[in-house]
Every structure is written in C-alpha cells, then in structure tokens.
Amino acid sequence: KNEVEQSPQNLTAQEGEFITINCSYSVGISALHWLQQHPGGGIVSLFMLSSGKKKHGRLIATINIQEKHSSLHITASHPRDSAVYICAVSSPLFGNEKLTFGTGTRLTIIP
C-alpha cells in the first residue's frame, strides 16, 4: 500500500544544522499534515497545508502538488527538536477527515 513514504527513516545531526525531512505521496490529496511525536509519546500537529509554504518559528513546510512531494525544514536545529516527525495526508479517496500516515522520521540532534 504505502500511499505515504518518508525519508530518511532516521536522521542524526549536530546542533545548529539545517534539517530536511521528505514526504512523498501517491494519491490526490486535499491537505498534507506534518506532526511531531515527542520522546514521551505525545503527538502534536505542526502544519496543515494544501499549497505553497508555511512557516512557524524555525520550522518551514513546503508542498509541491504536481510532484506529490512535501518537505519539512528545521533551521538552527536544537536538541529539543529531537522527536519523530510524521507526514500524513487527507484525500477525498478515503474521506477528507481521515488521515493516512507515513511511518515517521526519527530525528536526533546532538549538542
């Protein structure tokens, strides 16, 4: 199945580095979501976007609808950014209110 693929699966970087996490999907979507899962297990929504780019603090999310691809960037990474980042899509194929999730990218930032 794998309608949503993320890369890399694991990423380790030094504090201060620029981070990019990629998400590709294979279905027509109404929106793409980026979520963050903390080491303690809690999941929070970071972005929901259907076109262009969104920015919140040091996090930037972009989407290219034609290429069915999205990226999540973190500038000036910090150890507190260490988490699993999850990409998910909502599609009229499955019902816009339902999400199909990728398997996540585990990010570790070393001080």
Partner 1 sequence: NAGVTQTPKFQVLKTGQSMTLQCAQDMNHNSMYWYRQDPGMGLRLIYYSASEGTTDKGEVPNGYNVSRLNKREFSLRLESAAPSQTSVYFCASNLLAGESYEQYFGPGTRLTVT
Which chain residues interact with partner 1 by CB under 8 A? 4, 30-31, 33, 41-45, 48, 50, 86, 88, 90, 95-104
**In angstroms, what is the minimal distance from the CB of 76 to partner 1?**
25
Least spacing, CB of residue 33 vs partner 1, in Å: 7
Give DSSP secondary structure letters for 14-80. Answer: ETT--EEEEEEE-S--SEEEEEEE-TTS-EEEEEEESSEEEEETTEEEEEETTTTEEEEEESS--GG
Q: How far is the CB of 10 from partner 1 (least distance, A)?
A: 12
Q: Is the peptide bond before 8 cis (omega within 30 degrees of 0)?
A: yes
